[in-house]
Structure 1
Amino acid sequence: MQIKKLSLAITLATITSVGVVSAANASTTIRVAYGNQPGEPVDVAVKQWAEWVSEASEGELELIAFPASQLGSETEVMEQARFGSAIISITAYSNFLDSVSDLAVLDAPYLSEDFESKLRVFDSEWFADQLAEVESSGYHIVIPNTIYGVRHLLSREPVSSPDDLDGVRVRVQNSQMYVEAIRAMGATPTPMSLGDVYPALAQGMVDGVENPAAVLYGGKFYEVVKHLNLTAHMHTVAPFVTGKAFWDQLSEEHQQVLTDTGQQMAEYLGELVAEDSEQALERLRSEGVEIHEVDTAPFRERAAEQIPTAFPQWSDGLYDSVYDIING
């Protein structure tokens, strides 16, 4: 009798457990990680994306936003994704330098003069070949073409040519591409975290910082340096990436939902970034920042000469061929 009761209890527990698992599997929860702060364009766009995904999948897919690097650095989150976690993260194409080296060229300076031109590359055969290599490296690019912003230089003194940057220390993120980009422009790159920039500017450890106008305003760097030079050295387009192992576990229907709504999100984010950039320029001006138009031709020439030699791992003629795709 005791054995029968025990058997019945185990059976009921098993049924209950299966029911719980089935309920849990009714929806797939995906964490979306990014370093941007709440309220920034990326954050607003991701939360809108979550609504579109839920609606299109009839609640079977759920995106949860994790702003402000809550899940770790870009490198840490990318590793989690590669090992199968249900994570999608925005990253930089230059972060593929070690795995799909040619793809990093998309973050090179002065490849394009506007986003309309830059976006052409994503419809090219060259990019399709790169996507195949990304898959082989254990990743899947969910959204390749999200507009992140135009990067300019905020500095202690006005800048109109590469000669003006001789000996000028400019903060960059700790990335080989950004280091080489600033070096090609004529300055001395100084890698450090964005959180350390304000005191570094105030103490004279660096003389400038580059980033989209909205980030420059948000960091209050205008309190220390007062010259914004519209170098437009990068029209940054960033991918949203997940791991191939996780992507392959999703049904084709759910993959299509994420892809289609992801393109909606990319368009929406582009609109937010454009609006935010204009507002940031006006806010900087109202804080006493002098905004200088810059002839970018000399900077472009230096970039075309120096960037390819800084990356010997790239395919021969890569910078020029991608430049031609974008500007052809």
Structure 2
Amino acid sequence: MKRLLAATGLATAVLFSAVTAQAATTLKLAHAAPESDLQQTLSVFFKEQVEARSNGELKVNIFPHGQLGSDSQMIDGARSGIIDIAMSGLNNFTGMLPEAGAFTLPFMFPDRETAYKVLDGEVGQGVSASMEQFGLKGLGYPENGYRNVSNNRGPVTTPADLDGVRMRVNNSKALNDMFDLLGANPQQIPVAELYTALETGVVDAQDHPIGVVLSFKFYEVQDYLTLTQHAYAPLALVMNLDKFNGLSEDEQKIITEVAAEAVAMQRELSIEKEEEMIAELEAEGMKVNRDVDSAAFQEAVKPVWQNFIDENGDALVNAILEASK
């Protein structure tokens, strides 16, 4: 009888364990950056806090460095539910919301604090709400940072220094227009292919925030970095809307609270580590130029704003400018 009871108890424990394991919800979180990037730091923080606060009822598996596809593929995956959570540049969502390109217009935000205020406020939250029609729940806007120009030709002090440069650009039409206007030859290349394109001379130059230049090791194939800070680049952290709505209220609260904390933490680290990252790039042999005629660049790119307004209207541009005051 004792053996029978022991066996029955063991079977019950195994069954309970199996049911508990089945009850846990596993979320797939994907981003395109290497594991050395602050996007991964944010992801690990998110994973650890969500799992801890849900007592293991929510699990998060992280897929960095484009393991689940390009930015556009990850966004499509999040919309369809193949991926639960995706983190990507806000510019990559402009196929759905073209007007959101206003956030990445050249010289839109004079400083990070202004960008945070707008993105976290009514204007940014309005864009997040608009994502729901495409099956996405906006969880926040982490930081990619200010975009800067690297190349193999020399420092970029004035707009004329970009004349004739073969420039890799992302899918932001505003930035494509900007570099075209400045006399460069812009070419769209996925970030996963950019290192090879620079190494083989397909393009001479690229623009990315400091952290991306470091984490993707572009210093190995680029000699010069100029701190043009010509556009602020926010990320967007999004979740499949049906998946989010299928969670309990407590689980939804955990997700949204941890996401907000993760964004704040990542932004703070981005600011704290920027000079350290620049020093590391210099130690790797990059020549960093801070002598930039920003006024000349801002004057030269004014037509980019008008082109954007002609195509998308001025409602969001004016809302950002008003909220920036």
| TM-score normalized with structure 1 length | 0.84
Quickly say closer, same or farther: Cα 1:284–1:98, change in 2 above 3 A: closer
Residues 1:141 and 2:142 are matched in the alignment: no
Local SS of the residue matching 2:141: strand
Per-residue CA deviation, residues 131-168 of structure 1 (Å, 9 max, x unaligned), is 332112221102x2211222211121221121221222
Give the percent of matched residue pairs that are identical in Structure 1 and Structure 2: 28
**Which stretch shows the higher mean deviation, 261-270 or 317-326?**
317-326
Runs of 4+ in 1 over 6 A off after TM superposition: 18-21
Partner of 2:164: 167
Partner of 2:57: 60
Measured on the aligned residues, the alpha-carbon RMSD in Å equals 2.7
Partner of 1:207: 204
Partners of 2:38 and 2:211 within 8 A in 1 = no
Partner of 1:154: 150
Local SS of the residue matching 2:312: coil
Structure 2: unaligned runs, 5 residues or longer: 1-11
Q: Distance in 2 between matches of 1:84 and 1:196?
A: 26
Per-residue CA deviation, residues 268-317 of structure 1 (Å, 9 max, x unaligned), is 21233234432221122224433222132222233343134146441235
Partners of 1:94 and 1:105 within 8 A in 2 = no
Q: Distance in 2 between matches of 1:272 and 1:123?
A: 18
Residue 169 of structure 1: how far off its partner (Å): 1.6
Q: Distance in 2 between matches of 1:222 and 1:20?
A: 50
Quickly say closer, same or farther: Cα 1:282–1:29, change in 2 above 3 A: same
Q: Distance in 1 between matches of 2:104 and 2:57?
A: 35
Matching residue's letter, 2:226: N
Matching of residues 23-172 of structure 1 within 5 Å: 23-85=20-82, 87-142=84-139, 144-155=140-151, 156-172=153-169
Structure 1: unaligned runs, 5 residues or longer: 1-14
Equivalenced residue count is 311
Q: Distance in 2 between matches of 1:164 and 1:76?
A: 35
Q: Distance in 2 between matches of 1:118 and 1:77?
A: 25
Partner of 2:243: 246
Partners of 2:144 and 2:211 within 8 A in 1 = no
Q: Distance in 1 between matches of 2:176 and 2:128?
A: 25
| TM-score normalized with structure 2 length | 0.85
Partner of 1:316: 314
Q: Distance in 2 between matches of 1:35 and 1:297?
A: 33
Q: Distance in 2 between matches of 1:53 and 1:196?
A: 33
**Which stretch shows the higher mean deviation, 45-54 or 125-134?**
125-134
Per-residue CA deviation, residues 60-101 of structure 1 (Å, 9 max, x unaligned), is 111111111111222222222222345100022222223222
Residues 1:270 and 2:267 are matched in the alignment: yes
Quickly say closer, same or farther: Cα 1:111–1:287, change in 2 above 3 A: same
Quickly say closer, same or farther: Cα 1:137–1:313, change in 2 above 3 A: farther
Per-residue CA deviation, residues 193-230 of structure 1 (Å, 9 max, x unaligned), is 33544454455442212112233234444445432211
Partner of 1:302: 300
